[in-house]
Structures are given as structure tokens and as C-alpha cells.
Amino acid sequence: MKGRVKAAVAGANGYAGITLVNLLARHPGVELRQLSSRSFAGKPYASVFPLLDLEGEFVPEPDADGIDVMFSCLPHNVGAARAGAWVDAGVRVVDMSADFRLKDPAQYPKWYRQDHPAPSLLSKAVFGLPELHERELPGAALVAVPGCYSTAAILALAPAVASGLAGSDIIVDAKSGVSGAGRSPSIGVHFSEANESLGAYAIEGHRHLPEVTQELSALGRDGLQVTFVPHLAPMTRGILATCYFDLKGSLAQLQDAYREFYAGQPFTRVVAQSPTTKLASHSNLCLVNVSAQNQKAVVTAALDNLVKGASGQGVECFNIAFGFDRKTSLEGPIQWP
Ligand SMILES: NC(=O)c1ccc[n+]([C@@H]2O[C@H](COP(=O)([O-])OP(=O)(O)OC[C@H]3O[C@@H](n4cnc5c(N)ncnc54)[C@H](OP(=O)(O)O)[C@@H]3O)[C@@H](O)[C@H]2O)c1
């Protein structure tokens, strides 16, 4: 492609959109052409991005005209209804929502309470987890970036499942910071309700569970039983997934399987100590520790829900899809504490 890639961000004033714009603004191969938001329509970009040198005004509706790639940071169902027109217009789409992650259209109404708005696009979508799908990404017309919990759980479990060293019964206990719920206010993420408090939710089944099961089952294991329980933690950002399964082999074999699986991967690192969310904060890293208690493996994974769990991974997929170095605009100084 000649010149820089012309990009638009739909839903640019939400948490995923803001993170994307901050990353794309320093991407040498991208020209940010258009940002959309209904509530900021007509207001200057500086009203949301005072520290970026961006000129222009928010538009109320994303418009694909003159755009090469649409980064969609809209809620599920909302972007899917528009995605068909974007793809038909030759615009490539990187979707942060859940709309194109599940391959089986019958799963969508079960988890999202309505029929899929564009089922014919499901077969075109590449599941945007480069550690598993890097080869399918170059040239992709539609990328479905996985959920934040799903990214942590799949990266924590893929080597164990692929190597056959995990029993079929897997438990994922995951905690997320409140930015995982987005920027729109709701009672559950109200400061006085979420601060100094910790609780489980969606115990009967969270929407990210079918993504996790789909991707782990595709690694060649039928009959996997994943129990996934998310928790809301009183922190702004970050996910910690602690995963338990019966160990079929030794801990040393399991650790070798993880090191081998992630050898050469720039963003998923096998680390010697159980990671904290703060260690991965503001980075595109997923940090994975592999331990055991008796014959029960305990694998912990930490990432930033807005970066590797959303927009950083979106940029990573975009880089591969458009032929840039996978790490472009995703590396920076370690931010700790
Ligand atoms: N937060 C995370 O950690 C995370 C992680 C992975 C994936 N995601 C996914 O990324 C997407 C965005 O999440 P977020 O956390 O950024 O949410 P958010 O902060 O609530 O932002 C939602 C965005 O969508 C726009 N919007 C809301 N309702 C709309 C409608 N009916 N029509 C058009 N635009 C609408 C909002 O702007 P206006 O209301 O001004 O139009 C805003 O720009 C979601 O699909 C989410 O599941 C989020």
C-alpha cells in the first residue's frame, strides 16, 4: 500500500477507543482520518485527547468513505450491523467487540440474546489472537479481537491443552479491573460500590466462556470442561487469571511445553514468579507463570485489559494484517509501579 494507512476509530471516546487512538497516533504507518462518537459529535478531538496533536471534530456516525481500515470499538450488535457495509466497500475491519469471535452462529443468540446481525461475515473473520492465529492474519478483511478475559485464559491454557498435559476439567478464576466494564457509568462500577470490594459475577456463565472453549477445543482436545468465574476487583485496569487443572505429567514437562509454545512470541512471556496485574499494566504483555500444588497445575496469567486484552492486541493484529512489524507502536518503557 502506498502512503500511510488511512484509519478511522468508531467509538473513539470509550476506553477501548481512547487506548486505540493513543496507540495509533504514534504509529508511523497510520494516518488517523476520522474518530466517531455520538456524545462528542461536533466537538474537537482535543476534548477527549488534550495531550495529542490531533486536528478535527468527532463525527456522530463512522463513515467508511476514503478509509482503508475501520477500528470498531462499539458495543456488541452495534458494530456488526455496520460491518457488512464496511467490508463490502473494501474497508478492512478490526473489531474489538464480541460480534465476530464465535464461529458457530447458533452460539450468538444464546450469549448475546439476539440473532447475529451479519452471520455471513462470520466465516470471513479471523480470531485476533496472534499467538494462535498469526498465519491467518496477513491480508485479513475482518479481525475479531478476543475479549480481555478470553485472551488471559486462552494464553494461560493453550500450551497445556495443546501438549496433552492438562486434564479435561479446567477451572479459570479471573479478576478484572473496573475499566473492563467500559466508560459508561453503571451501578456496579460506581466508586462507592466497587472500591474496597471484591465479588464474583456471571457464575452461571460469562459471555467470554464460549470463546475460551472454542479456541482451546480447536487445539485438538474434545470434551474439555471449562469452568470460568469472573470477579470485579477494586482497581482501574488489569486482569489476573488463575487456572487450575490436573497435571498429566511432571511440572518440568509442563513448564517446558509453555517455554516451547511461546518461544519467539514478542508479547506473551513465561515468567518465573506469579505475575501481578501491575507488572503488565499499560503494556501489551501477557505474563504467564506455570506452577503446581501436588498434581494440580496452577497457571497464572496477568495482562492489561485495555492493551493486550483489547486495543494493543487490535494494533498487533492490524500490524500483521497490513504487513507492518508486529511490535510497531506497541513497545515503550516499562511502567512500574
Ligand atoms: N473495556 C475493555 O476492557 C474491553 C476489552 C476488550 C473488548 N472490549 C470491547 O470493546 C468495545 C468498546 O468497549 P469500551 O470498554 O470502550 O466501552 P465504552 O467505554 O462504554 O465505549 C463504548 C463506545 O461506543 C459508543 N456507543 C455506545 N453505544 C452506542 C450505540 N448504540 N451506537 C453507536 N455508538 C455507541 C460510545 O460513544 P457514544 O455513546 O458517544 O456514541 C463509546 O465510544 C465493546 O464491544 C467491548 O466489549 C472492551
Please write the tens of the pLDDT for every residue from 93-133: 999 999 999 999 999 999 999 999 999 999 999 999 999 99
pLDDT of residue 334: 86
Note the pLDDT of residue 2. Answer: 66
**Using an 8 Å Cβ cutoff, are 277 and 287 in contact?**
no
Average pLDDT over residues 170-194: 95
Question: Measured between alpha carbons, how far is residue 147 from residues 159, 209, 250 in Å?
Answer: 19, 10, 31
Q: Is the pLDDT at 225 greater than 80, yes or no?
A: yes
Burial class (CB in 10 A: 0-12, 13-18, 19+), 313: buried
CA of residue 257 relative to chain centroid, distance: 24
Residues with CB under 6 A from ligand 1: 11, 13-17, 37-40, 73-76, 78, 96-98, 147-148, 179-180, 182-184, 305-306, 309-310
From 9, 15, 94, give the residue whose CB has the most ligand 1 atoms within 8 Å, as the site to mutate. 15
Expressed in angstroms and rounded, the spacing between residue 216 Cα and the centre of ligand 1 is: 27
Distance separating alpha carbons of residues 128 and 309, to the nearest angstrom: 11
Whose CA is closest to atom 9 on ligand 1? Answer: 97
pLDDT attached to residue 335 = 86
For residue 219, report the distance from its CA to the centre of ligand 1, in Å: 31
Nearest C-alpha neighbor of 149 from the set 201, 85, 91, 220: 201
Distance 11 CA to ligand 1 centre (A): 6
User: Full-prediction pTM beyond 0.95?
Assistant: yes
CATH architecture of 149-304: 2-Layer Sandwich (3.30)
Per-residue pLDDT at 277 exceeds 90: yes
Mean pLDDT of 169-198: 95
Sign of CA dihedral 229, 235, 241, 244: negative
Task: Give residue 336's pLDDT.
Answer: 86
The length of the chain, given as a count of residues: 337
User: Residue 222: its pLDDT value, please?
Assistant: 82
What is the identity of the amino acid at 14?
G
Specify the domain boundaries for CATH 3.30.360.10 within the chain. 149-304
- The reported pLDDT for the residue numbered 119 is 94
Give dist(CA 5, CA 123) in Å, integer. 25
Nearest alpha carbon, ligand 1 atom 11:
73
Tens-place pLDDT, residues 278-323:
999 999 999 999 999 999 999 999 999 999 999 999 999 999 999 9
Ligand 1 geometric centre to CA of 289 (Å): 31
Which cell is 250 given?
A: 511432571
Residue pair 270/208 in contact (Cβ under 8 Å)? The answer is no
DSSP-derived secondary structure for 231-299: EE-SSSS-EEEEEEEEESS-HHHHHHHHHHHTTT-SSEEE-SS---HHHHTTSS-EEEEEEEETTEEEE
DSSP letter for 132, please.
H
What residue spans in the chain does CATH classification 3.40.50.720 cover? 5-146+308-321
**Helix, strand, coil % in the chain, rounded to nearest 5:** 30, 25, 45
Cα(259)–Cα(262) distance, integer angstroms = 5
Ligand 1 centroid to residue 256 C-alpha, Å: 39
Phi-psi region of 56 (alpha: psi -120 to 50; beta: other; left: phi over 0): left
Class of domain 5-146+308-321: alpha beta
- The H-or-E segment that residue 126 falls in is strand 125-127
Helix (H, G, I), strand (E, B) or coil at 230: strand
State residue 224's pLDDT score. 95
Residue 1 has pLDDT above 80, yes or no: no
111 contact partners, CB below 8 Å, separation of at least 6:
98, 102, 205, 207, 210
The residues that are catalytic are 148
Of 71, 74, 100, 186, the residue with max ligand 1 atoms within 8 A of its CB, to mutate for a pocket test, comes to 74
Distance between CA 10 and CA 74 in Å, rounded?
A: 6
In contact, 11 and 71? CB cutoff 8 Å: no
- At residue 84, φ and ψ (nearest 5 deg) are -60, -45
In the numeric block, the cell 461536533 is attached to 42
The grid coordinates listed for 323 are 504487513
